Chains A and B, each alone.
Chain A
Amino acid sequence: MLKENGKYEIFRGNKTTKTFSIILTIFTLLLISTPWWLDRSSIRTLTEVMYILALAQMWNLLAGFGGLLSVGQQAFIGIGAYCLVIFSYKLGLNPFLTIPLAGIIALVLAFPLSKIVFRLHGAYFAVGTWVVAETLRLITSNFSWIGAGSGLSITRTMKGIPSWWRESMTLWFAIVVGIGSILLIYYILRSKYGLALRAVRDNEVASKSLGIDVKKVKLYVYLIAAFVTGMIGALIFITKLRVSPEAAYSIDWTTIMFFSVVIGGIGTIEGPIIGTIIYFLIREYLDDYGSWYMIILGIITIFIMIKYPKGIWGSIASRYNIHLFAIKRHIRKR
């Protein structure tokens, strides 16, 4: 109605968002080119940054936008990891092809899992997802065919692939997943579905009265997160080459996910990006101090949750009204 008025127009982006999208594009191209000029150790770190970023974005999608607090996303990392074991190690499929396959299998398994965990809400849902992850871990530990409790090494899946290719392909897949997850969330939020998502997060009852199918909205979020997290699971263990239930289904993955999201700013796209960077900086700095590094992570989380619950980016963004991604609609006079 206003659009046709002629006096006002609705717009989304501004100079900041347009500039940022150019920067992001250049940065991505740079990233893709690194195998030709960066050293191998840095490439490995970049790969890790990319997949942790993706994990953080997915957890943010669930908790920050979907209102689904999951402490059990490691279930899908484990599923992805064991897809790698079953399809690449046991059945000989190219490990890089297993990545999308792992995503699909995680997606398929997420259907029945959602039926169970969606029986619970709020904090109960959170612990319920953890139980599911633990159950999967224990089931996996009981099958010696896939290495049982002690796990197995899957280096032979890489036989015949030169190491430069292996590390480059891994990086490129990680970039697809990492930058891809940013774009995925961006497009979701810009869509009608994204509006519904944010409405549900803000006020479930009001959303229902507007005809939004809350159950479906939440299910889709859960499925999308499962899909991407499953792929990441396979990717992670391509870099580690040793899979054990303990490592694949570890609660530590959740710790990293929520740390990155909370420190950066839950419920924003920029937040997990910043949070991931900070996580890596802290890790680099404190790597030598063993358990102290985890203790400090815990203390920082508590401090941020109490003092700056919007996270670093969230606090800055709301104060200075900066947005790097053009999602919100605004009205201005022509």
Chain B
Amino acid sequence: MMELLNTIIHGLLLGGLYSLFATGLSLSFGIMRMINMAHGDMIILSSYLALAIVIPLGINPFLTLLLVVPIMAVLGYILQKLILNKTLGNDILPPLLVTFGFSIIIQNTLLEIFSADSQGLNAGKIETASIQLTQNISVGFFPVLVMLIAVFVIVALEYLFYKTSLGRNFRATSDDHLTASLMGIDTHKIYSIAMALATAIMAVAGVLLAIRTNFDPSAGPLNLLYAFEVVIIGGLGSLWGTLLAGMILGVSQTIGSYIDPGWGILSGHIMFLVILMFRPQGLFPKTKDR
């Protein structure tokens, strides 16, 4: 019983990381109507960037966020501005295939530079530290930290979207990009900024992922699938829904793992497929997908 409770809590906290994965994806889909097939690979790229900084400098991995986030944000901005903005239009094929191309390039470049070996970032004591909740239940300090960061990101995004003029422009562009440009909004610039923002969030996710677990160049696509599943389970348009959906996915996986180690990831997929079958609009949809 205690073990089960621990498993559930562990899954809930894992949801924090998954919601970070999903938030970046739902940002780019919500504003640009584009699924970035390299989403998971860019998260892993951030992990490797952090690694590349830690190896020569030997600093605490958390500090790498200061460099990795801006670098990835700039990379996202440039990719959108120079390449992806050229693929936008009514056809969904070009952005999908171009980002798939990115995915292949990133994975194989990482493979060439770092080899297929599994890597990890060591953050020291924080990784194993735990917080004692009750006599029998303790939670890892790091997973709680990740959850707090996920919540913080969502709060910050809500503030951006609803209390700033940039956020207003994001929402208008997402509603109707043609009328938005009629109103003087440079929609291509909006897309580039949105992508930079999404990539920054992916960078945070990547660094945290690298501390939490091991990674290798081929680990990207699975993260895309998780992010995607969370977005579908949660429903479009609701940031808090994404957090809840992340927790649902996390718990599905940990309970599945608890029943049989080979069924962890599979349980997540099955939960997703079940929800897709019976409630395709997601559990907490806020907007209709246009």
Q: Do A and B bind each other?
A: yes
Binding site for B on A (CB under 8 A): 63, 69, 71, 115-116, 119-120, 122-124, 126-128, 130-132, 134-135, 138-139, 141-142, 251, 255, 258, 262, 266, 290-292, 294-295, 297-299, 301-302, 305-306, 309
Contact between A119 and B280, CB atoms less than 8 A apart: yes
- Taking CB atoms, residues of chain A closer than 8 Å to B33 are 123
Most buried by A among B101, B109, B273: B101
Asked whether, in the complex, the Cβ of A119 is within 8 Å of the Cβ of B35, the reply is: no
Shortest Cβ distance from residue A117 to the other chain B in the assembled complex, whole angstroms: 9
- Taking a contact as CB atoms under 8 Å apart, the answer to whether B102 and A302 are in contact is yes
Is the Cβ of B276 less than 8 Å from the Cβ of A127? Answer: no
Q: Knowing A123-B92, A305-B101, say if A141 contacts B262 (CB, 8 Å).
A: yes
B225 at the interface (CB under 8 A from A): yes
Report B-chain residues with C-beta under 8 Å of the C-beta of A251: 221
Give the distance in Å from the alpha carbon of A56 to the alpha carbon of B281 in the complex.
Answer: 32
- Contacting pair B97 A258 (CB below 8 A): yes
Within the assembled complex, what's the spacing in Å between the Cα atoms of A45 and B167? Answer: 55
User: Within 8 Å of chain A (Cβ to Cβ): is B277?
Assistant: yes
> A295 contacts which of B109, B260, B276 (Cβ < 8 Å)?
B109
How big is the B interface, by class? 35 or more
Stretch at the interface among B61-69, B131-139, B182-190, B264-272: B264-272
Give complex CA distance A122, B29 in Å.
12
How far, in angstroms, from A99 to B93 measured CA to CA in the complex?
32
What is the CA–CA distance of A122 and B289 in the complex, to the nearest angstrom? 11
Decide yes or no whether B224 CB sits under 8 A from chain A.
yes
Identify 11 residue pairs between A and B in the complex whose beta-carbon atoms are under 8 Å apart, listed by A's number.
A69-B93, A71-B37, A116-B273, A122-B92, A128-B276, A131-B273, A132-B273, A138-B265, A258-B97, A266-B93, A291-B112
Whether A123 contacts B96 in the complex (CB less than 8 A), given A295-B108, A298-B102, comes out as yes
B96-A295 in contact (CB<8A): no
B161 at the interface (CB under 8 A from A): no
**Cβ–Cβ < 8 Å partners of A297 in chain B:** 104
Contact flags B256-290 to A (C-beta < 8 A → 1, else 0): 00001011011001101100110010000000000
Given contacts A135-B273, A305-B97, 20 further A-B contacts (CB under 8 A): A116-B277, A119-B276, A119-B277, A127-B224, A130-B221, A130-B225, A134-B269, A135-B266, A138-B262, A139-B266, A291-B112, A295-B105, A295-B109, A295-B112, A298-B103, A301-B97, A302-B101, A305-B87, A306-B83, A306-B86
A298 pairs with B105, CB closer than 8 A:
yes
B94: CB under 8 A from chain A? yes
Whether B98 pairs with A306 at a CB distance below 8 angstroms is yes
Instruction: Check: B197 CB closer than 8 A to any chain A CB.
Output: no
Interface of A is mostly: helix
A63 touching B265, Cβ below 8 Å? no
Q: Which of chain A's residues have a CB closer than 8 A to the CB of B83?
A: 302, 306
* Max chain B C-beta neighbours (<10 A), residue from A134, A141, A290, A295: A295
CB-contacts of B23-54 with A (<8 A): 29, 33-35, 37
CA distance A292 to B109 in the complex (A): 8
Q: Quick check: is B77 within 8 A (CB to CB) of the other chain?
A: no
State which of A126, A135, A298, A302 has its C-beta within 8 Å of the C-beta of B35: A126
Nearest residue (CB) in A for B224 is: A127
Q: Is B228 in contact with chain A by the CB < 8 A criterion?
A: yes
- Considering the complex, give the chain A residue whose CB is closest to the CB of B225: A131
* Minimum Cβ distance to chain A for residue B92 (Å): 5
A305 CA to B95 CA in the complex, in Å?
Answer: 9
Q: Are B112 and A292 in contact (CB under 8 A)?
A: yes
Q: Which chain B residues (214-266) contact chain A, with CB distance < 8 Å?
A: 221-222, 224-225, 228-229, 232, 260, 262-263, 265-266
Q: Is B100 located at the chain interface by the 8 A CB criterion?
A: yes
Q: Does B111 contact A (CB under 8 A)?
A: yes
Interface members, chain B 77-99 (any A CB < 8 Å)? 83, 86-87, 91-98
A142 in contact with B266 (CB, 8 Å):
yes
CA distance A86 to B262 in the complex (A): 21
Query: Which residue of B has the minimal Cβ distance to A254?
Result: B100
Kindly list chain A residues whose C-beta atoms are within 8 Å of the C-beta of B224.
127
Which residues of chain B (101-128) have a CB below 8 Å from chain A?
A: 101-105, 107-109, 111-112
Q: Which residues on the A side are within 8 Å of B37 (C-beta)?
A: 71, 127
Most chain A CB neighbours (cut-off 10 Å) among B86, B263, B276:
B276
Complex Cα distance, B280 from A119, in Å, reads 6
Check B270 against A127 for contact (C-beta < 8 Å): no
Whole-angstrom CA separation of A9 from B97 in the bound complex: 41
Question: How far, in whole Å, are A301 and B104 apart by their CA atoms in the complex?
Answer: 10
Known contacts A69-B92, A120-B276, A127-B224: does B104 contact A294 (CB below 8 Å)? yes
Q: How far is the CB of B133 from chain A (nearest CB, A)?
A: 33
Contacts of A127 in B (CB 8 A): 35, 37, 224-225, 228
**B270 and chain A: residue at smallest CB distance:** A135
Task: List chain A residues, Cβ under 8 A from B96.
Answer: 69, 123, 126
Query: For residue B227, which residue of chain A has the nearest CB?
Result: A127
